[in-house]
Amino acid sequence: MTRATIDQREVEVREGSTILDAARALGIDIPTLCHLEGRKPQTSCMVCMVKVGDPGRLLPACGTRVQDGMQVESETEEVAVARRAALELLLSDHAGDCLAPCQSICPAHMNIPVMIRQIAAGQFREAIMTAKEHIALPAVLGRICTKPCEKGCRRCGHDSAVSVCLLKQVAADEDLAEEEPYLPEQKPARGKKVAIIGTGPAGLAAAYYLLQEGYACTLFDDHELPGGMLRFGVTEDRLPRAVLDGEIRIIEKLGAEFRLGVRVGEQVSFEEIRKGFDAVLIAAGELDPPGAAQLGFGGTAQGVRSGGIAADSRTYATALDGVFAAGGAVRKSRLSVRSVAEGREAAGSIVQYLGGLPVARRAEPFNHRLVQVAPIEVMRMASGASSAERVVPGAGAVRGFTREEAQLEAGRCLGCDCRKLGDCRLRAYAQRYGADSHRFKGERRQIEVYRQQAGVIFEPGKCISCGLCIQITEDAREPLGLTFIGRGFSVRVGVPFNRTLEEGLQKVAEEVVAVCPTGALAFADRTRLCLP
């Protein structure tokens, strides 16, 4: 047996064990992208660097054997800098986006690619569940959204964008037509109440997500019917009132209470509301100065600016304790989807506040973005999508797609998001160490896509040459398998003799997908993978 110290903790391991083995015996998480338990170390990714000795040397934990009396540090600033640099080098020629451009540009960051794949597969119930994770009013927004997501669609560079909003609309309409529309799971009641002033897009969205967290919601509005600008600022021919009412009914079924025809500052004072509720969200749309004053905001010092209530741009908290503001009450906006997004985000801040936690916006997830994609690369991505032209709904845009039309249109999606977004270790470690994916600039690899009939897709541009898939195919005695092709910086993984992916992966396709640390090897049917 051999003794060593890692981060001032002693450990005893079998002779021949690596630092990585010893760290894991202590429960210390040393990151690695190229190591597979029970197989020889690759020492290719260099993400597992640790500091050994004093003065120390930086060595890969997966390939360095423990020596008696060895002193190891795994989380110093020097180690973090080395790991970050290793990740940035791997990302410097990474030919892929983490989030598809449509999802990145959507103000609500809805998981558009997953919803589209579910519709293509005829999974409309699953599609509405995906949509409502980020958008509380998909049937409404499917009709009136200005479609920023479609402007970012990669297919624009090929022919025309995928009809994202109409697809969102059909999933929502199909759900509303059910006897029992989808209701999200709700946590047990927490015994705390939130007042929401305004029943427009921000207020309705906030209620939808707060109710899921177990908080009672009462919505105040001076109109006799809820909906705010959605009802009184959008014409019936663009947004049928039956659609709006249907989505509001779902929020009512979750337990929302509506107090309509009540003007705050007249029938009930703002201070009364503050005393009667544990938190308040102001989502009353654009306010004039007298209206803001009635809500306790009497001047610049108290938090009024440019005709709106001053609120933290990240948390939506105002200068008044327990009072938050979102949507048009804060800033003018013609984008309903932005108001819906702010309602959801404000709900998250209120949940933190009521839970006694510091109110802070969740850190933005790491997102590697391709700045430019050449037409030939778009054509390669399009090789797995339908070549059909953009589908036009036969019944018109307001009525939307039939199920059949929706599935045809969904089949046009290029699938340009990461197929392993939820379990990509490269992305997870880039987030953990604050990697800058554009720190090292140079010519990146080209996007290439190889497909196997059994459902595996190989994108060499996302491969980090870790060699794990090669080990798997060698151990399984695949007739061809995978191998390293080329030398030095040009080395790449591929099937020998320029044979097809089908021929290379006859036995262990699922195993190589499971061990791939990035989205280089993945299933075409990404519903088989964990979703973010």
C-alpha 198: how far from its chain's center?
A: 28
Pair 416, 510: CB distance under 8 Å: no
CA–CA gap between residue 20 and residue 66 (Å, rounded): 9
- Is residue 188 assigned to a domain? no
CA–CA gap between residue 166 and residue 412 (Å, rounded): 13
Q: Of 10, 40, 75, which marks where a domain is finished?
A: 75
- Is residue 89 assigned to a domain? no
Q: In terms of domains, do 257 and 334 share one?
A: yes
Which of these, 92, 223, 110, lies nearest to 489 by C-alpha position?
92
pLDDT at 103 over 50: yes
Lowest-confidence pick of 68-82, 226-240, 479-493:
479-493
pLDDT at 489 over 90: no
pLDDT at 303 over 70: no
% of residues, the chain, pLDDT over 70: 96
Task: Find the mean pLDDT for residues 127-133.
Answer: 98
Q: Which long-range contacts (CB under 8 A, 24 or more apart) does 237-242 make?
A: 237/398, 238/143, 238/144, 238/398, 239/140, 239/143, 239/144, 240/398
pLDDT at 106 over 90: yes
pLDDT of residue 301: 58
CA–CA gap between residue 347 and residue 281 (Å, rounded): 9
Beta bridge partners of 259: 220
Q: Do you know the residue count of the chain?
A: 532
Choose from 195-199, 379-383, 417-421 the range with maximum mean pLDDT: 195-199
CATH of the domain at 236: 3.50.50.60
Tokens of 339: 């108001």
pLDDT band, very low/low/confident/very high, at 213 (cuts 50, 70, 90): very high
pTM of the model: 0.91
Beta bridge partners of 493: 484
CA–CA gap between residue 251 and residue 465 (Å, rounded): 49
- Is residue 54 assigned to a domain? yes
**What type of residue is 334?**
R
The DSSP secondary-structure symbol of 47 reads -
Q: In terms of domains, do 342 and 203 share one?
A: yes
Provide the number of structural domains found in the chain.
4
CA–CA gap between residue 221 and residue 263 (Å, rounded): 6
pLDDT at 298 over 70: no
- Is residue 420 assigned to a domain? no
Q: In terms of residue numbers, what domain contains 43?
A: 2-75
pLDDT at 60 over 50: yes
Q: In terms of domains, do 450 and 502 share one?
A: yes
pLDDT at 335 over 90: no
- Is residue 426 assigned to a domain? no
pLDDT of residue 308: 79
- Is residue 279 assigned to a domain? yes
Q: In terms of domains, do 163 and 216 share one?
A: no
Task: Select the more confidently predicted residue: 141 or 528.
Answer: 141
Q: In terms of domains, do 216 and 318 share one?
A: yes
CATH of the domain at 521: 3.30.70.20
- Is residue 91 assigned to a domain? no
How does 60-92 read in b/e, with b if 16+ C-beta sit within 10 Å? bbbbbebeeebebbbeeeebeebbbbbbbebbb
Q: In terms of domains, do 298 and 441 share one?
A: no
Q: Of 323, 354, 385, which marks where a domain is finished?
A: 354
The beta strand positions in 230-376, using DSSP E, are 257-260, 279-282, 304-305, 308-309, 323-325
- Is residue 364 assigned to a domain? no
Q: In terms of domains, do 168 and 141 share one?
A: yes
Q: In terms of domains, do 447 and 511 share one?
A: yes
Q: Is 40 exposed, middle or buried (0-12, 13-18, 19+ CB in 10 A)?
A: exposed
Q: In terms of domains, do 175 and 198 share one?
A: no
SS3 238: coil
Q: In terms of domains, do 376 and 311 share one?
A: no
Q: In terms of domains, do 255 and 341 share one?
A: yes
Which of these, 162, 96, 135, 123, lies nearest to 420 by C-alpha position?
96
Q: Is 307 exposed, middle or buried (0-12, 13-18, 19+ CB in 10 A)?
A: middle
Tokens of 94: 């990474």
Q: In terms of domains, do 349 and 374 share one?
A: no
